[in-house]
Amino acid sequence: MPQQRTPLYLIGIAALLLIITGCGADNYAKKAEKYYAIGEYFDAAEEYKKAYSHTPVKEKAKRGERAFKMAECYRKIGYSAKAAGGYQNAVRYKVGGMEPVLRLAQMQHWMGKYNDAIKNYTVFLDSIPESIEAQNGLKGCLLAGDLKKKGSLYSIKKLPILASRRADYSPMLYGEDWDQIYFTTTRQQASGNELSGITGVKMADIFYSKKDDKGKWSKPETVEGEINTEYEDGACCFTPDGKTMYFTRCTHDPNYPRYATIMSSARSDASWSKAQELKISNDTLSSFAYPAVSPDGKWLYFSSDMPGGFGGMDLWRIAIDEQSWAIPENLGSDINTFGDEVFPTFRPNGDLYFSSDGHPGMGGLDLFVAEQDSSNMWQIKSLGYPMNSAGDDFGMTFEGFNNRGFFSTNRGNGRGWDQIMSFECPEVVQSIKGWVYEKDGYELPGAMVYMIGNDGTNLRLSVKPDGSFEQEVKPNVDYVLLGTCQGYLNHKQEIHIDTSSISRQHVLQFPLASMTDPVLIRNVFYEFDSAELTEGSTIALDSLAMLLTENPNVTIELSSHCDYRGRDEYNLRLSQRRAESVVNHLVQKGIAPQRMIPVGYGEERPKVINRRMAEQNPFLQIGDTLTESFILALPDEAQQEICNALNRRTEFRVMRTTYGLP
């Protein structure tokens, strides 16, 4: 039979349809890009989805690119399952390099598909092994099973009375008896009729509920006053006196990106006044969101992507002043990561809680607590399972000093709807956690801590690689702990453990002084052009007296140093008199004068920069000697003054360890 041929007019129609389809796909993609540029990710995802479905199969690169962009939108609004599908297509079409592999692993992580996530994190790390983001993701997946199996003292419950068919999140208790709960919701009862281009549902409002005498919560209703608007309003907090509310507002403009701002409202009788924007910064291109007030009422903590952070949204704080606002401070790399640190909140005892997707976790946002030790270092701890899950867990609030309250989570919900749950942790364990480190230096992993209690406790504790140790302790017991390390002087701490109905971790520091290198005595000050010690020097010198008491066989050289300014002979005499003043103070504290040799070096021994100083002052290098010629060669006067201040110092150096021995 002769071969049948397709009529030419059918070929033409097919070609025309392909052209029309391609043009339609491009138009959808352009609309999607406009929505994406202003942060309306739900609308952008819908347009990318249309663009993807209208892109011819043979145009693999375009299909893969549009699948990836669609997935990015779904990821940003918490639609993990849909995002995973988009990333899988991007991987299949081999677009975007290794990024779709990483994002796919993260979505699988968020959905609790840990084995699949581990495989993709591993594939990504095989190509980009230095990625901290992937390393932490892999750690989180590997830890998730153990965390779930281990569990914690926390128990959680759903709170149906506050639930709706949309998102309910960021609860915050209020009132002297904690009998009111404020929260954010996108339920149908929220004000306004417009749907958010970000989430596809109604704009968020702040609602609240009251607890009656029987402990039952009332049906939620919109907050009284002029708080809620046509915009997104939510994630509120209160000052300790209950007179001021801070919350987040996200306005919308069809021509500009979305930026969140922090608003404040004053309490007037039973309602709230019209909100005013807080001008934290003149930066108009960054978001400021999720406020939290410290228990002392002196600081406002918040999350922002402003320049100067570590990536994504960081936690910052700013001093609250009735007259003006100070410069924001970043909370540092102990807390902030390459990812997002958001929803800070405080327990009244001062513990800071927050959520992060950058620290290793079970998936999405995990809840962490950050406790600040006596050296102002943050110690970060996951709340574990069941507080954390494969989804987003965030927005805690505490019922007074009790370790119970409410939080929000979207676990088990691939569309990202949040729900509010209650939590409680019956705290019954007390412990001591300590760090052994070189005074003005770094951790000492070779250290040992001896722990003796008047209940018969006699322990020898090894420290971890980070110089830390932790040991459970008993109530109504007095403990003495001695930190030791070869080449360093001992340091003793004493502590009494009271009876407590809640768990508590007692943090101790063991800064050990070197027996070979000069040790800086911080915060020793003299009157101007004088050897007289100021009152502010007492704490530092009393600490040195205690150190010498704890190490009775040690003799030291006590030295004072000046900068290069002034005549050499004058500086020598002044520094000698200052060293003698310190020795005299220590003698008055009971230290034998034979154990101390006061020496004034004037400007003869300029400071040599060590690793810690170089890290604190990037313009200096390890080994730099701060001579007059070195300092004067620096281009900046501020840098010169820093070097002069480093040279003006009081130090001690161990001479012998055999004083009083036969």
Give the confidence band of 8 by pLDDT, cuts at 50, 70, 90: low
What tens digit of pLDDT does each residue of 262-297 get? 999 998 877 899 999 998 888 888 999 999 999 888
pLDDT for res 138: 95
Give the confidence band of 254 by pLDDT, cuts at 50, 70, 90: low
Q: What percent of the chain has pLDDT over 70?
A: 93
pLDDT for res 509: 92
What tens digit of pLDDT does each residue of 302-358 get? 999 999 999 899 999 999 876 567 789 999 999 999 999 999 999 876 789 999 999
Give the confidence band of 644 by pLDDT, cuts at 50, 70, 90: very high
**Most confident of the ranges 115-129, 187-201, 542-556:** 115-129
Q: What is the DSSP letter of 608?
A: B
Q: Where would I find the H helices in 506-656?
A: 538-550, 568-588, 611-616, 628-632, 637-647
Question: Which is more confident, 618 or 416?
Answer: 618
E-assigned strand segments in 296-441: 299-304, 314-319, 329-330, 341-346, 352-356, 366-372, 378-382, 393-398, 404-409, 419-424, 430-438
Place of tokens 């949309």: 166
Whether the predicted pLDDT of 529 surpasses 90: no
Mean confidence (pLDDT) of the chain: 88
Q: What is the CA radius of gyration of the chain?
A: 31
In order of start, what are the domains of the chain with their CATH numbers? 155-424 (2.120.10.30), 430-512 (2.60.40.1120), 519-656 (3.30.1330.60)
pLDDT for res 460: 87
Q: What is the DSSP letter of 629?
A: H
What tens digit of pLDDT does each residue of 185-212 get? 999 888 877 777 777 778 899 999 999 9
pLDDT for res 413: 67
Whether the predicted pLDDT of 374 surpasses 80: no
Q: What percent of the chain has pLDDT over 90?
A: 60
What tens digit of pLDDT does each residue of 466-518 get? 888 888 788 899 999 999 999 999 999 999 998 876 667 889 999 999 988 88
H helix or E strand, kind and range, residue 536: none
Mean pLDDT of 109-133: 94
Rounded to the nearest 5 percent, the helix, strand and coil shares of the chain are 30, 30, 40
**Which residues fall within 8 angstroms of residue 20, CB to CB, at 6 or more apart?**
none
pLDDT for res 281: 85
Whether the predicted pLDDT of 84 surpasses 90: yes
pLDDT for res 14: 47
- Residue whose C-alpha is closest to residue 383's, from 370, 372, 369: 369
pLDDT for res 389: 94
Mean pLDDT of 409-415: 77
If one counts every other C-beta atom within 10 angstroms of the C-beta of residue 201, the result is 19
577-580 long-range Cβ contacts below 8 angstroms, 24+ apart: 577/531, 578/526, 578/531, 578/650, 579/650, 580/531
Mean pLDDT of 640-653: 93
- Residues across the chain: 662
pLDDT for res 323: 57
Q: How far is CA 177 from the centre of its chain?
A: 30
Amino acid at 519: V
Structure tokens at 435: 């760090």
**What is the distance between the alpha carbons of residues 548 and 489, in angstroms, rounded to a whole number?**
9
Q: Which residues, listed in sequence order, are joined to residue 561 by a DSSP beta bridge?
A: 602, 649
Query: DSSP states of 423-445 as a string?
Result: EE-----EEEEEEEEETTS-B-T
Mean pLDDT of 418-431: 85
What tens digit of pLDDT does each residue of 124-150 get? 999 999 999 999 999 999 999 888 888
Strand 352-356 relative to strand 288-293: parallel, antiparallel, unpaired?
Answer: unpaired
What tens digit of pLDDT does each residue of 203-248 get? 899 999 999 988 899 999 999 888 999 889 999 999 988 889 999 9
Mean pLDDT of 57-61: 90
